[in-house]
Amino acid sequence: MKAKDIMNKNVVKVGPEDNVNDLVKLLLEKKISGVPVVNEENEVIGIVSETDLIYPEKSVHLPAFIPILDSIIFIESFKKLEKEIKKMAAYKVKDVMNEDVITVREDVDIEEIVNIFVDKRINRAPVVDENNRLLGIITRTDILKHIY
């Protein structure tokens, strides 16, 4: 079985200039955990996942807190955290995307894709043509659906 046999051709994708806040809404609305980033020619130039949004290289300092009786008491300013989160939401996708995208071609065997996922510790791989244009995407879920 090949990538083209199980890939999802209806790919949710974003552009590098899209707003991170809109990206988060899209991920939540579509119930997905990551998307490829494409340019105007539909070439894959990056990928962004929930991990990139939760743990961005731009550090957001979380305030110290104490859990007391099922409540949380913040020791530091929650307003400061809220300000940092709002600042991060103004970022563009290009500011948080991973440019080291692992892609596969549509004629790659599923076994090879599984090995790539395990070796590279990734959850999804865009399927591209010889010009790096997006054709589809394969996720771990897609592989599991075809195994079972």
82-110: pLDDT as tens digits? 666 666 656 899 988 999 999 999 999 99
* Predicted pLDDT at 60: 47
pLDDT digits (tens, 9 = 90+) for 114-141: 999 999 999 999 999 999 999 999 999 9
Q: What percent of the chain has pLDDT over 90?
A: 63
pLDDT per residue over 30-47, tens digit each?
999 999 999 999 999 999
Residue 65's CB is within 10 A of a number of other CB atoms, namely 13
Q: How confident is the model at residue 52 (pLDDT cuts 50, 70, 90)?
A: confident
**What is the predicted pLDDT for the residue at 85?**
61
CATH number, domain of 142, equals 3.10.580.10
Counting the structural domains of the chain, the total is 1
DSSP 53-122: HHS-SS---PPPEEEETTEEEESS-HHHHHHHHHHHHT-BHHHH-BS----EETTSBHHHHHHHHHHHT-
Contacts of 126 (CB under 8 A, 6+ apart): 11, 36, 44, 47, 101, 103, 104, 134, 136, 137
pLDDT band at 76 (very low <50, low <70, confident <90, very high): low
**Does pLDDT of 65 surpass 90?**
no
pTM: 0.76
- Which residue range is the domain that position 133 belongs to? 3-147
Residue 54: its pLDDT value, please?
77
Q: Is 12's pLDDT higher than 60? A: yes
